[in-house]
Amino acid sequence: MSCQNSNAPEHHLFFNKIVGEWKLEDKPVIEKWHYADSSYKGSVFIVSGNDNVITEEIRIIENSKGVFYEAKVNDQNQGESIYFKLILTEDNKVIFENKEHDFPQQITYKLTDTNSLVATIQGIINEESKSIKLNYTRIQKK
């Protein structure tokens, strides 16, 4: 299925809008999204001089149980991927959830305009609600 297809599921339409590179506000962190092998893939890396150190790999996968955000974070979860199920799709927003995960339990991506993306991770940690907002600016499209 083409990611340009107007009959594509809403989450495809959302992720097609964020394909490209995004820089985290005030930090040398880049989140890069692309479409390959029939799925959306992301990577998060720290820019350190001439080197880029990948800290997280992300895939949006679909199967008979739904649509999932698969995150594999270096030095976390014994190298295993963690899955968050898509629970909400809007024109400029997606929310994924995994209530069984320690933190976060919810991941939200929201396009506030063409060149501004906010990723929010939230959940309960040590019996307290915690939310971390990550503000990104587009630095390269597709």
Rg of the chain in Å (alpha carbons): 15
Q: Which of 9, 13, 29, 30 is nearest to 21 (CA)?
A: 30
CB 20 within 8 A of CB 32: yes
In the block, which residue shows the tokens 């679909």?
62
Domains belonging to the chain, first-starting first, are 10-141 (2.40.128.20)
Report the pLDDT value the prediction gives residue 75, as an integer from 0 to 100: 83
In three-state secondary structure terms, 101 is coil
* Residue 142's pLDDT band (cuts 50, 70, 90): low
Give mean pLDDT, residues 1-13.
63
CA atoms of 22 and 58, how far apart (whole Å)? 14
Listing DSSP states for 46-89 in one string gives EEETTEEEEEEEEEEEEETTEEEEEEEETTSGGG--EEEEEEEE
* Residue 50's pLDDT band (cuts 50, 70, 90): confident
If you average pLDDT over every residue of the chain, what do you get?
91
Report the pLDDT value the prediction gives residue 3, as an integer from 0 to 100: 45
Give mean pLDDT, residues 115-133.
96
Could you tell me the pTM of the whole model? 0.90
Give mean pLDDT, residues 97-118.
96
Contacts of 39-42 with CB under 8 Å at 24 or more apart are: 40/3, 40/12, 40/15
Report the pLDDT value the prediction gives residue 96, as an integer from 0 to 100: 98
Give mean pLDDT, residues 45-52.
89
